[in-house]
Structure 1
Amino acid sequence: MRQRCLATVLALAVMCVPARAADQWVPVKEISLELRPGSPLDFSSILPNGRIDGGHRLVVGKEGRLAYAKAPDTPVRMLCASLAWSPASGGFPDHEGADRYARQLAMHGYNIARLHFVDASLMFGRDRDLDFDPETLDRIQYLLAALKRNGIHWIIDGLSSPRGAYGGFDDRWDTGGDVKLMLHLDDRTFEHWRRLQQAVLGRVNPYTGEAPIRDEALALVILANENGLEFEAVVHDRPGRAPYDDRLAQPFNLWLKKRYGTTASLAKVWGVLDSGEVLETGGIRLPRDRYNDSPRLRDLQAFFVETERASTARMSKVLRDLGYTGLITNYNNWPSSQMALSRRDLQVITANTYHDWVGGYTPGSELLQTSSIADSVNYIRMIAASRWLGKPFVVSEYDHLFWNRYRYEGGLAMPAYAALQGWDALCRHGHGPIALAYGEPFPHKQAMLPYAIALDPVARAGETLAALLYRRGDVATSDVTIPFSVRGEEDLTDDMQAREPESLTDLALVGRIGLERAERLGDAIAVTQPRRESSDNVLALLRASSRLKPDNATTVDAGIYQSSTGEIVLDRFARQLRVATPATEAMAFASLREPVDLGVLRVERADGNGLVALSALDPPATLSDSRRFLLIFATDAQNTDMTFRDSEEKVIESFGRLPVLIRQGTVDLSLSKTAAKWRISPVGLDGTVHPPVVDGAGAVKFRLSNYGPSGPTTYFLLELR
């Protein structure tokens, strides 16, 4: 092998000697972030978006998977762009900006977009109910048309803001407001929601010529974002406040009266009632502590299930009466046992999930600074267990949040396991998944922030990898399915927060899991009710039945899980996740104590934690046959002058400012390939291919630095000749 550095002193210093200390941070040089057409990051040719027409309307196809109407037996994977703009993040773009933005989304590999908080944007600064800002309405309508022209379907929330479309509020993106609660309880609020659907979805879009509700581009309506009654109560929980709103008391008493009839009958089930509690007069109180398990809480869950299912039916009828024939979902929050029953009859199941959740942007906001691999990606496993088998499953929000130093894990873990599970759409949450440039003049664009993945090179590298692992289909779906039996209300316990046990959801790291009605299980190897099995027991049954190969390396006690496909291995205690497929090989690691051989790619050494991935770019997309490869190397990124209140960087003091800084790092790599000539060129965050920094002949083996003459980056182009 021959290796040559560029004939410059800077390249020699950067590329041919060991990297600087791992705590060195270097500023990103790019300003424009618009991908150059035809660049290695332009996926519009390898992931083309077709014309959206009647044949390309999304439907529930074979085995409950999303598919196009013209090919219902062929599942499609939808990579989703979250569009959750507010005035602080720039709002909806003007027409020229919308055209550029939609085209860029298609180039990045997105084929569906979720419009979130549309109601808040339309009502920003408005004093009268349903009095939409005309410019914002025009921009939304034009953006929808631009997305459709670029082959990007739509997911739209029927309601995002707890203020709905009521006038006179300036906290539309906050948790104030009770519209989500009162939708379940109050006819006037429900009528307000109905009018909102008519005004947004039922209004003819002048740029498409038809109302969104009749447009084949509208794939899914989320009736109301995070609208579960228990979740809504937790969101509004405050010290000194009762856990449940008093307005729930009367309908809860009516429900109890219908079920039990008399105070005496209720007391036989609940035990001793409090003084003054009489069912006949509606005097049964709501629970005073949601975490103190009790029969009272169990019945409150049953009441929530009945109420939520009735609300969904009522809201769905509104859309159907308006002429909507597409897909409907609800309750994308909370993977609890109670919520699972409320979702049971939905057409599509949706879920939101986060690792190391952050509550806000103010000084003093904090996270745990933990690895998701260290808890066996629990944030992924817990929503896997909330899915109902035989229905499309959409991850409407997820993120491994900034400023967590392990967030490079999210770009490998979520798309890999989403593909393994056979999920149908994947949406990493943020103001927007991309930005057209650094330095846009808006408060939330002045620095990287949580829920703002567009400016974060680490998150963006993960989304690039997701387009290949998930949408392109590099990771295969498991042919092993492990149902979790559900009987019905009898599965509810006295624990309001009960969900599927983590000691069983680890099965999601091996095969497909999800909920199934008990009467449909037949002789399937399943997790039964009550939950008494261990994952070891279920795995033993799968091995005995030959559904799991004898050489599968899963060892629960050792924290090692290998997928049934053999493509994914999670090592909890080493904090490593490895993916090896014909088209992509990748590894996320907290440390690298010894070399790891992925197949074609061998990771020899690294000077810190990070993500390394090698993906074939030439058709057919296999590492064996391709001559061009996208190489991703992501470490960490922070803002200039970012400061913390503690040495572990858990508590934020100031987010700082642009430019973004990337943590400098090196990794030693080799490929089980030889070539007459080969070279590696840095690829800028805008897709620009810079001059080669390493080249050679024969064996492909090199040290890669993420910092070179063109500045730091997360992308490289490897070419074999």
Structure 2
Amino acid sequence: MTGFTRVLTVLLGTAALLRGENPRLLDGGTLELDRWRGTLSAFTSQWHTLQPASAKQVFDLQEKESGQLQRYRLNLPGAAPGTLTLALNPTADGGGEFSGKAKFDRPSAIRFLCLQSALLISQYGGTAFEADGKLIRFPEEFNGEEIISRKLKRLRLPTRNGEILFEGDFFLRIQDGRKWDGASYGMRLGFVPHSGTEIGKAEITFRLRSGKAGAFGPPLGSIVRPAYVAAPGEQWKPFTYHRNVEKGSALDFSARLDAPAGKYGPVIAGPDGRFVFRDRPETPVRFYGANFVGDSQLPNRKQAEELADRLAAFGFNAVRIHHHDNEIYDRGGRNPSRIDPERADRLDYFLACLKKRGIYYTTDIYVSRRNIPAAELGTAGAIATPAEYKALFYVDDAVYADWERWAAAFLTRVNPHTGLALKDDPALITLSLVNEGNPASWWNRTPRAAKLYNAAFKKWQADHPQGSFAEFLSGLAVGRYRQMEKFLRGLGCRVLLTDQNFQNGIALAADRSHYDFVDNHAYWDHPRFAEKPWQLPVLPNQINALKSRPGVPGRLFPTRLFGKGFTVSEFDYANPNRYRAAGPALMAGYAAFQGWDGLFPFAYAHSLNAVTNPGNTRGFFDIATDPVKAFSQRIGAQLFLAGGIRPAERAFAAVVTEPFRKGGEAEAPESFCDLGFLARIGVAVTPDAHEGVGALIDIGAGTPPSGRAVPVFRSSEKLIPDLIAAGQLPQECYDAAAGRFTSPDGQLELNRRDRTLRITAPGAEVLTLGPKQQLSGRRLSVDNRDAFAVFALLPVDAERIDDAHRLVLMHLTNTQASGMKFGNDKLDRLESWGRTPFLARRNTARVSLRLPGGGWEFHALDTAGKRIARIPAQAQPDGSLRLEIDNFRHPEAVFAYELIRE
């Protein structure tokens, strides 16, 4: 025990320390007092957060004394090396003197060195903080990003047991995270000077102490909210979640698959860029199916057969094999190919099972292979993490050479269960070359990489004196892509290729124009972690995607390039967002309307345990452990693959002939994103790439072609009204006040104000609405009662509802696991995943069905598709049938009903 610790114990008492009532300096540069935590943070030029726990090369810990001192060697990207010391000294009143001192070897431009914390909106909204004597209220409704941003001497903040007083010299910024669909206010206690200028030294000092509410000034309000624990009761009912459905049941969509995969030859790009089979080029083809991550894709043979049947029952006709490279990598170096033969054989057999059932696959060459020894990388040295690999990939030829060796081994090895190497297998539809490898996202994640990029940029500038750093990175990305493409074609691999499947920047169009097709990723309510990455607690925003602008899929619309295919190889509406049941229909409906080629929900599972263990309830993304996703993804697959949603006739292209004009990070304006709910949209990167579009849209990233063969409209908040006024869109398709978007053919309607979605297509009808709302389609109408819900009418034995003799009516609300714990009843702080049995949220509704001729009988189903009860229906004078449904009426909660034509 140090002398400091002995003094601290005498002053404060062991019990007080255990109760956490006094400030503590925790590992990873985190200051804590009364459950408020501020973690040492810095930001890259793209605003990626760097913290000691996750960026140990940036914050190289040199010395530590528990609870009082941390000393780091500092290697901030883009800055000179330096040192940083954090110290906390106790004060007699139970508080502490905190200081942070950073010193750089030479003056450097840095971005916000600070202590960062997240303040939950559900707790802090409506309360106040004091800044230098002025009370400022945390807004309950979003009214702008910035709440405060200036230097302070005094700050009071409400906390769990009262309030904290900060007195010293610091910069305070508080911003409203709802700007980025977040659930918290972002608070930063910044070093002074805090950002931007050339800084040689930066310092933060303050005294902090806690007290009861009102101890240091006028009342600020209470942030205490009661915890919420999911339990059976009036609103929640336990049920049995069956992972497999009964063969031939109304939940079995396997008959829709056209087996075996590859029977029509490989997938190629048609004249308009859309995917077609080589031997069936007249018919565009779409793909829908889940990602498999980690060892979930390495089942034994019995599990592989069962799992392939399970996926076929979803109606999935494709999967994405992901993070496989790390799973089959031979770390022992026993095999010259560096591929573990036993683990690879498990993957091979699983792929063969999928192919036999008519399920295609896509994958990546590099995703997350890690802990690669120096002996394999030569001059590059050992690489421990995917971040290092991706950062070095574009500037270190030794790392690129490793990529080539792995690609050759992975693609040319013959699968003994199909008799084909992956490169020759027509069931392989596409390849991504480096997953989420955009150099703009990785170049400065490690000091070594940042140094190499900066040196290469200076050399590049000699020949491009007016060129920007974004253009330099683009040149690196395109150059590497051409190398990779040439290498793969040299192997005899003819599959469609893509790269940089991440982010929505306009400038990426320059790079993506070189690829065979464009791929991208999007998430709604992606987990944000309160303390440690990928560990609870997590902070879901609990925002309904139907009300958000531009939301998902809205933010993806402008990233499609006209003349090229488009896929989304990762998307999800993450658990525990209570509205996630609507996500697959929202994505699939508008993807079909846009004429996209593939959708891949992320993910079926992240582990084999999630696939096989019925007691597993964990997972932000996994379909396997989330009953709502298991049902809603069936809706998504049916809508996208066989729903009959027609691609929009009208198309509008943004002019992106100067993709770097607005910088490397600019995205398309929201007004242009909105247009994607009424027409096909994308970008044109060459002056003549506007064939087939009704008009060009000027988004400030290029000059419209002279002569104006088609009209040009400027993207502003008047864009859609201007297009309507010019006769480019029908008058009734848009209501700005309601946020209503009705597709010109009437098949899709999104209402952001009412938070409703209506999809009426020959092969599916979907109505999504809140409590006490009514909505009608062509065959289905709903008077909803108690909770947000998704209703879907899908044919079982035919392509079209009108031709079916069997239909399934899905009724989805929310599910939680028993004992799932949240920090409050707003459900925006998840603290425990809970256990089985799962619980369903209650809902009742009156459903009216206008079905094709003949009598119909109705059966409630369990989650395996087994009939558990006959349901009475009332014939109405207009010929419709009325059902009063209550998902709690039977011993098992009911998510689906089978309709049989007599």
C-alpha distance after superposition, 1:159-209 (max 9, x if no partner)? 11062865999xx99965411121111111111111111111111111122
Shift of 1:538: 4.2
Give the distance between the partners of 1:118 and 1:371, measured in 2 at CA.
33
The answer to whether structure 1 residue 337 and structure 2 residue 506 are counterparts is yes
Deviation at 1:44, TM superposition (A): 2.3
The answer to whether the 8 Å contact 1:22/1:663 transfers is: no
Structure 1 residue 673, shift from structure 2 partner? 4.9
Q: Which amino acid aligns with 2:293?
A: A
For residues 17-28 of structure 1, what are the structure 2 equivalents within 5 Å? 24-28=235-239
State whether structure 2 residue 622 is matched by structure 1 residue 449.
Answer: no
Letter in 1 for 2:890: P
Q: Give the TM-score normalised by the residue count of structure 1.
A: 0.83
Describe the SS at the equivalent of 1:405: coil
Cα distance change of structure 1 residues 91 and 309 upon mapping to structure 2, 3 Å threshold: same
Work out which of the residue numbers 548, 562, 567 in structure 2 matches 1:389: 562
The equivalent of 1:509 in structure 2 is: 677
1:100 aligns with one of 261, 284, 306: 306
- Would the aligned equivalents of 1:448 and 1:660 in 2 still touch at CA under 8 Å? no
Q: Does the aligned pair in 2 maintain the 1:337–1:492 contact within 8 Å?
A: no
Q: Residues 132-164 of structure 1, C-alpha deviation per residue, up to 9 Å, x if partnerless?
A: 333211101111222211122221110110628
What is the Cα deviation at residue 599 of structure 1? Answer: 2.4
Which of 612, 630, 637 is the equivalent residue of 1:460? 630
What does residue 146 of structure 1 align with?
A: 353
Report what 2:742 is aligned to.
562
Q: Structure 1 405/50 Cα, relative in aligned 2: closer, same or farther at 3 Å?
A: same
More helix by share: 1
Percent pairwise identity:
26
For residues 367 and 452 of structure 1, the distance between their equivalents in structure 2, rounded to whole angstroms, comes to: 16
Q: 1:534 to 1:390 in 2, by over 3 A?
A: same
1:174 and 1:189 map into 2 onto residues whose CA distance is 13
For residues 54 and 673 of structure 1, do their structure 2 counterparts lie closer, same or farther at Cα, with a shift above 3 Å needed? closer
Deviation at 1:427, TM superposition (A): 0.5
2:454 to 241, 249, 258: 249
Cα distance change of structure 1 residues 647 and 691 upon mapping to structure 2, 3 Å threshold:
closer
Structure 2 residue corresponding to 1:85, chosen from 294, 307, 312: 294
1:643-658 pair list within 5 angstroms: 643-658=821-836
Q: For residue 837 of structure 2, what is the aligned residue in structure 1?
A: 659
Alignment of structure 1 residues 138-537 onto 2, 5 Å:
138-161=345-368, 163=370, 177-232=387-442, 236=445, 245-260=450-465, 299-359=468-528, 361-376=534-549, 378-432=551-605, 440=613, 446-489=616-659, 491-494=660-663, 496-520=664-688, 521=690, 524-530=694-700, 533-534=714-715, 537=718
Is 1:601 the counterpart of 2:780? The answer is yes
Contact 1:119–1:165 (8 Å) recurs in 2: no
Contact 1:82 1:427 in 2 (8 A): yes
Residue 783 (structure 2) pairs with residue 610 (structure 1): no
Q: Which amino acid aligns with 1:317?
A: K
1:108-123 matched pairs, under 5 angstroms: 108-123=314-329
* Higher RCO (CA-CA < 8 Å; seq separation 6+): 1
Partner Cα distance (1:436, 1:705) in 2? 33
Partner of 2:892: 711
Equivalent residue, structure 1, for 2:809: 631
- Distance in 2 between the 1:410 and 1:175 partners? 32
The equivalent residue for 1:289 is none
Look up the match of 2:763. Answer: 583
Corresponding residue to 1:548 among 708, 723, 729:
729
DSSP 3-state at the match of 1:669? strand
TM-superposed deviation, 1:562: 0.9
User: Per-residue displacement from partner, 1:35-79 (whole Å, max 9, x unpaired)?
Assistant: 22211122122x222333463311111421111111212111111
Is the Cα–Cα contact under 8 Å of residues 59 and 326 in structure 1 kept in the other structure? Answer: yes
Give distance in 1, aligned partners of 2:633 and 2:695.
35
Say which SS state the counterpart of residue 462 (structure 1) adopts.
helix
What is the rounded CA distance, in whole Å, between the counterparts of 1:714 and 1:164 in structure 2?
Answer: 45
Q: CA deviation at 1:245?
A: 2.4
Question: Any idea what SS the aligned residue of 1:39 has?
Answer: coil
**Letter of the structure 2 residue corresponding to residue 613 of structure 1:** A
CA 245–646 in structure 1, closer or farther in 2 if over 3 Å, else same: farther
2:213 corresponds to: none
Distance 1:166 1:92, change over 3 A: farther
Distance 1:608 1:433, change over 3 A: farther
Match of 2:268 among 38, 41, 59: 59
Instruction: Give the RMSD, CA atoms, in angstroms.
Output: 3.0
Look up the equivalent residue of 1:488 and give its one-letter code: E
One-letter amino acid of the structure 2 residue matched with residue 499 of structure 1:
E
How far does residue 123 in structure 1 lie from its aligned partner after superposition? Answer: 2.8
* Range with bigger deviation, 665-674 or 363-372: 665-674
SS at match of 1:73: strand
Distance apart, 1:23 and its partner CA:
6.0
Secondary structure of the structure 2 residue equivalent to 1:423: coil
Distance 1:117 1:439 in 2: 19
Measure how far apart 1:233 and its partner are: 5.1
What amino acid is the match of 1:604? D
Separation of aligned partners in 2, 1:55 and 1:674: 35
Partner Cα separation in structure 2 for residue 439 and residue 25 of structure 1: 25
AA partner of residue 458 (structure 2): N
Letter in 2 for 1:151: G
Give the partner amino acid of 1:689: R
Residues 390-409 of structure 1: per-residue CA shift (max 9 Å, x gap): 11101100001000011112
Q: 1:242 to 1:202 in 2, by over 3 A?
A: closer
Are 2:280 and 1:71 aligned?
Answer: yes
Question: Gapped runs of 5+ residues in structure 1?
Answer: 1-19, 261-268, 270-297
SS at the partner of 1:455? coil
Q: Measured at CA, do residues 435 and 456 of structure 1 come closer, stay the same or move farther in structure 2, by a change above 3 Å?
A: farther
- The whole-number CA distance in structure 1 between the counterparts of 2:519 and 2:387 is 23
Cα deviation, residue 660, structure 1: 1.8
TM normalised by structure 2 equals 0.67
Report the Cα offset of residue 543 of structure 1.
Answer: 3.8
Residues 124/672 of structure 1: CA separation in 2 closer, same or farther (3 Å cut): same
What displacement does 1:707 show?
Answer: 2.7
- 1:643 and 1:542 map into 2 onto residues whose CA distance is 49
Determine the C-alpha separation between the residues in 1 that align with 2:384 and 2:541: 23
Q: 1:284 maps to which residue?
A: none
The DSSP-based 3-state class of the residue aligned with 1:397 is strand
Deviates more, 1:192-201 or 1:415-424: 192-201
Q: Quick one: distance in 2 between partners of 1:692 and 1:50?
A: 34
Aligned to 2:26: none
The one-letter code matched in structure 2 to 1:144 is L
Contact 1:585/1:615, CA 8 A, preserved across alignment: yes
The one-letter code matched in structure 1 to 2:830 is I
Change (3 A) 1:377 1:166: farther
Q: CA separation in 2, counterparts of 1:164 and 1:482?
A: 47
Structure 1: how far apart are the matches of 2:497 and 2:638? 28
Cα gap change, 1:507 to 1:22, in 2 (>3 Å): farther
SS of structure 1 residue aligned to 2:543: coil
- Equivalent residue pairs, number: 646
Structure 2: how far apart are the matches of 1:434 and 1:480?
A: 43
1:701 aligns with 2:869: no
In the other structure, the counterpart of 1:9 is none
Distance 1:421 1:23, change over 3 A: farther
* 1:352–1:397 CA contact under 8 A, matched in 2: yes
Once residues 537 and 214 of structure 1 are traced to their aligned partners in structure 2, the CA distance between those partners, rounded to angstroms, is: 50
